[in-house]
Amino acid sequence: MAAASTDQQQRLRSGSGKMDAKNLNSGPISVLITKSQFAQRFRGYLEKERILDVCHRVQKLLDGTVALPVLGEKLTEQHLQELRESLPPETTCTLTCIQNPLPSKAARVQSPARKLCRELQCLVSDSGGRWSDELEDDLPRSWQQHGDLVLLSKDSFRAALWKELGLELWETVASALGARRIAKQGRISPDGVRSPTVTLLLGQDGWVEHVDNGIRYTFDVTRCMFSPGNITEKLRVASLPCAGEVLVDLYAVPYLVHAGAAFVHACEWNPHAVEALRKNLELNGVQDRCQIHQGDNRQLELQDVANRVNLGLLPSSEEGWPIACQLLRKGTGGILHIHQNVESFPAKAHLHSGHLEEQQLQQCPEQAVSNRQEDRMGQRNCRSPKDADIMDSGRETQAAATRAEWQRWAETTGAQIKVLLQQLHGKPWRTNILHIEPVKSYAPHVYHIVLDLECRPSLSSQGESGVHP
């Protein structure tokens, strides 16, 4: 086709005709103009080369030609040459620019992540910078939102350009994500109280309120930890039969609100977390059934009071085992909920398959087998049914090996707790593994699990003291 006339290009830039300005909400973009009979061919090529601008609509112009939106920064002369060579003789295509194009349907219902990307693209462009794949890869893929505060992951916004944008960057991020305050996570401080290194980037303070399983929490994100990844364990804690029991615990509020505990001794050595806990107890109306013990729980003077003890310190709660044994009621014993990061590696028998991806290694092994059929149907790398069977066999082998490692750790822990109890009380005790609960993947080949361990004086000891189960 002939090149677009000067008048036509002017109409495109001014938004006349079908590109009525009142319907448009975007800045100028690049488009390729071609005859309608070639539009589908062009679109297929642009999609294959990943240079079709999917955020804007392909539009038919008044003269019957079609304008295909393209990513101008990725469109090269070679692309244009290949497109022109695909056309009949004496026919060509035109690259031009239009103002205020129509957004695509996908763009109108864009996800928060897509909206964030688009607004940051505009910010970078307006500031004289150039958008790149490096900048796009540096955007957060997920974040925590607590009311009007968004907490970004520590591995986002690391590129040098972001620092140059200053406060305007965080105002743009807040606008895109529907927030007023922005904070960013850092590494957990090795200060013994697991203080978060969170930087407040936009806003005056880090206090937020969060509702989780019907329980209201308030805390300062810059000073206290809150792990949404532990939701399964919090729900499980809330369902435990704790009516009438006395507990020593770190999850004080769920035990009191949902599990029906009579009283909880809450141990906390982070002074900022103590302040948050006091407010949370008051928010949920359970402050009269909880006593807070601030400081190192290894120095706790309580003993012979608990039906249950929760040991939630990671990566290991082993230093707290002696005090936990001291806290259990010496006449009847009780249950310890012992948290631990347990390491396990893929079974050697599985290594021949060569197909297992790192993502599968991160999955909960309890789910790996139950998801077997879905994995088989969705696996694109299998070249034959035999390959699929090898993959499934490998996953089952790994899941079984991981569960076996959990079991070995639980049995060893039970034996150690039994010795501690016997040394403490001077008479035999017995331990019994009630349940092993996987909480979440902590790192490659490392899983956060919880052992529910029943601890009771042995039958002979109970008989001597007149106490029976």
Cβ-proximal residues to 331 (8 Å cutoff; 6+ apart), any chain: 457, 462, 465, 467
Cβ-proximal residues to 146 (8 Å cutoff; 6+ apart), any chain: 208, 209, 210, 221, 226
Measured CA distances, 293 to 128, 150, 270, 283, 316 (Å): 56, 31, 11, 19, 21
Alpha carbons 103 and 219: distance in angstroms, whole number: 40
- pLDDT for residue 407 is more than 50: yes
Question: How many CB atoms are closer than 10 A to CB 229?
Answer: 11
- pLDDT for residue 362 is more than 70: no
Q: pTM higher than 0.85 for the full model?
A: no
Question: Helix, strand or coil for residue 220?
Answer: strand
- Are 3 and 34 in contact by the 8 Å Cβ rule? The answer is no
For residues 188 and 33, which has the higher predicted lDDT (pLDDT)? 33
Instruction: Show the tokens assigned to 32.
Output: 């390729």
**What per-residue confidence (pLDDT) applies to 346?**
56
Q: What is the DSSP string of 225-268?
A: ---GGGHHHHHHHHHS--BT-EEEES-HHHHHHTS-BSEEEEEE
Label residue 209 by pLDDT band (50, 70, 90). confident
Alpha carbons 269 and 194: distance in angstroms, whole number: 10
Alpha carbons 128 and 3: distance in angstroms, whole number: 31
pLDDT in tens, 284-315: 888 888 888 887 766 777 889 999 998 877 78
Cβ-proximal residues to 209 (8 Å cutoff; 6+ apart), any chain: 146, 147, 216, 217, 218
Strand runs (DSSP E) across 185-299, as ranges? 199-202, 207-212, 215-220, 246-249, 263-268, 290-294
Alpha carbons 268 and 413: distance in angstroms, whole number: 24
- Are 124 and 135 in contact by the 8 Å Cβ rule? The answer is yes
- pLDDT for residue 281 is more than 80: yes
Instruction: Show the tokens assigned to 402.
Output: 């991981």
Label residue 247 by pLDDT band (50, 70, 90). confident
pLDDT in tens, 61-108: 888 899 999 988 788 888 888 888 888 887 878 898 888 788 887 666
Label residue 5 by pLDDT band (50, 70, 90). very low
Radius of gyration of the CA atoms of the chain, in A: 31
- pLDDT for residue 460 is more than 70: no
Q: What is the mean pLDDT of residues 262-283?
A: 84
The segment with the largest mean pLDDT, out of 76-90, 267-281, 349-363, is: 76-90
